[in-house]
Amino acid sequence: VLALTALGIHSVFTTPVDAIPDLTENQVLVYADWEGRSPQEVEDQVTYPLSTGLQGLAGVKDIRATSMFGFSLVTIIFEDKADLYFSRSRVLERLNYLQGSMPQGVIPQLGPDATGLGWVYQYYLDVDPDQAPEGGYDLAALRSLQDWTVRYQLASVPGVAEVAGIGGFVKQYQVDLSSTKMRAANVTLMEVMTAVQNSNLNVGGKVLEENGAEFVLRGIGLIENSSDLELVAVKAAAGGTPVFLKDIATVSIGGAFRRGALDINGHETVGGTLVMRTGENARAVIQGIKDKIAEISPSLPKGVSIKSFYDRSELIDRTIETLKHALLEEIVLVTLAHIVFLWHFRSILIVTLPLPVSILISFLLMRGFGITSNIMSLTGIAIAIGVLVDAAIVVTENVLRHCGEAEEKEGRRLTAQETWDATLAACHQVGRPIFFAMAIIILAFIPVFALTGQEGKLFHPLAYTKTFAMIGSTLLAVTLVPVLCSVLVRGPFHSEERNVVMNFLLRLYTPTLNWALHHRKTVIASAAAMLALAIIVAAGLPAAWVKRLDESGHLR
């Protein structure tokens, strides 16, 4: 028991924690960019070849596709039993084969290895005008900081699948061509594009040996600023005079075209979304993100800080804290009920001790079966608390009754050996009925285990944890409880007639039972009427898949 308790405590702190079970499909995302193309062109030349070519993979259940302006998204749904990373490798192999059927410049890519619930943390770059340099930082500078510094640091946190930038302007060189100057210089758009592409290159040479020394020859052609781009030779005019890019266009540095922005309290800024990898511990990943942010904050430019506007750990902590309070309250109420009805204070320890041990056993099995601590799994434990002590109560009450009868028969307090004999006889009497009674309750959850799809993902954690807790309580009832009874049960014993609460309840119950037995038809008719009324009321209740979870309190 001590070993199980120690392992259970370890499991409590190492079991992955999240707010709700992951109900999303086992899916792999494939996306492709084809800038400037209409949805119909994207559908015909990108989406359709991808969606048809990815059919036939092992374990594929469904393929969904979406075509938008300049963007294609294909979602491959696999069977729940399929291994995600095996599925991703099969998709990647097929994409290599399908690359030949894609338009020039279109390269399909895999999405992050995450689920729809992977968004666990969102942040923005906050600029303090009192500490920032004069003029502050524009959106392009903040986006560069996000893309080239913050993103890579946060991507190194264990469990993070992707860091997606939001807002600002992605810096780019912009060439604004003049059609009049192009016609005058007899230059086409394709010639301009080819010249720019060919000029932004470094060319490797050979090694030149001179005076006993080696000199590496290279051609440096990478564009470092807008002036370099202006001096790109597009073509040679008549007479060999070069036509430079600055002769037919205006070169500048600007922001790339964007279709969205990030607004915080009415001010546009730059931020990012962190996506958690499938199967990771959400709370541990978020804590790692916070630690990394604290680590890199001193190295950020003066006046810039990272602040969160969505943090799922707050929802997780509030959910777990609420359930912890509910569990504690239930344990206290159950213990008080034992004190009132058994009226034997040593036996309270016998009945109460298996309760936390059963919960720890359920956490141990949760860890072994890969079930996360979430609102459904902990609810399974919460609703099982009242049942967890039933077996221990039956054993303890029977031991107390046998010992009381033996003490009354002997006319003196029982010796340790006599108490042991009475305990053994009492446990033998109720051991088998307890086992079968608890087994029937456990088997009643078989229909829940048979659920599939999203229904199964939602209710399986509840059914598993309730079953785990009941298995633990049953084993403890036939092993630990008899041992505790033999050690802690001592006289004098109080009969039910001396229990004030039991006497009061019996005085209420006895006439009620007599009346019910003498008016059987009335009782049966009343029960049938209540059943019919319950069916009518239940049929009129509003129905929904799940209750809406409002996280607005966790968005800043």
- pLDDT on residue 21: 84
Looking at residue 50, its amino acid is L
- pLDDT on residue 89: 93
Contacts of 422 (CB under 8 A, 6+ apart): 399, 402, 403, 406, 414
Q: How far is CA 277 from the centre of its chain?
A: 9
Rounded to the nearest 10 degrees, how much is the dihedral formed by the CA atoms of 501, 507, 510, 512? -100
Q: DSSP letter at 238?
A: T
- pLDDT on residue 116: 79
- pLDDT on residue 145: 93
Q: Tell me whether residue 414 is exposed, middle or buried, using C-beta atoms within 10 angstroms of its C-beta: 0 to 12, 13 to 18, 19 or more.
A: buried
Q: Is 7 left (phi over 0), alpha (psi -120 to 50) or beta?
A: alpha
Residues of the chain with CATH 3.30.70.1430: 25-113
Q: Tell me whether residue 508 is exposed, middle or buried, using C-beta atoms within 10 angstroms of its C-beta: 0 to 12, 13 to 18, 19 or more.
A: exposed
Q: What share of the chain is helix, strand, coil (3-state, %, to 5)?
A: 55, 20, 25
Identify the three-state secondary structure at position 260: coil
Interhelix angle 390-410/375-388, rounded to 10 degrees, is: 20
- pLDDT on residue 12: 86
Residues of the chain with CATH 1.20.1640.10: 315-511
Looking at domain 315-511, its CATH architecture is Up-down Bundle (1.20)
CB 137 within 8 A of CB 127: yes
What's the CA gap between 194 and 228, in Å, rounded?
16
Q: DSSP letter at 66?
A: E
Each of the 556 residues of the chain gets a pLDDT tens digit; together they read 788 889 989 888 888 888 788 888 889 999 999 988 999 999 999 999 999 999 989 889 999 999 999 999 999 999 988 899 999 999 999 999 999 899 988 999 999 988 878 889 999 999 988 888 887 888 999 999 999 999 999 999 999 999 999 999 998 899 999 999 999 888 999 999 999 988 888 888 888 888 888 888 888 888 888 888 999 999 887 777 899 999 999 999 888 888 889 999 888 999 999 999 988 888 899 999 999 999 999 999 999 999 999 898 888 888 788 777 877 887 787 777 777 776 666 777 787 888 888 889 999 999 888 888 888 888 888 888 778 888 888 888 888 788 777 777 777 776 778 778 888 888 888 888 888 888 888 888 888 888 888 888 888 999 999 999 888 888 888 888 888 887 777 666 666 666 677 778 888 888 999 999 999 999 999 999 999 999 999 888 887 766 666 655 545 5
What's the CA gap between 402 and 74, in Å, rounded?
70
How many C-beta neighbours within 10 Å does residue 192 have? 20
Q: Tell me whether residue 444 is exposed, middle or buried, using C-beta atoms within 10 angstroms of its C-beta: 0 to 12, 13 to 18, 19 or more.
A: exposed
CB 98 within 8 A of CB 50: yes
Q: What are phi and psi of 343, to 5 degrees?
A: 55, 35
Contacts of 496 (CB under 8 A, 6+ apart): 502, 503, 506
Q: DSSP letter at 200?
A: S
- pLDDT on residue 507: 84
- pLDDT on residue 509: 87
- pLDDT on residue 498: 66
Q: How many CA atoms lie within 13 A of 235 on its CB side?
A: 15
Residues of the chain with CATH 3.30.2090.10: 171-255
For the segment(s) 25-113, the CATH number from 3.30.70.1430, 3.40.50.720, 3.40.50.300, 1.10.357.10 is 3.30.70.1430
- pLDDT on residue 149: 93
Class of domain 171-255: alpha beta
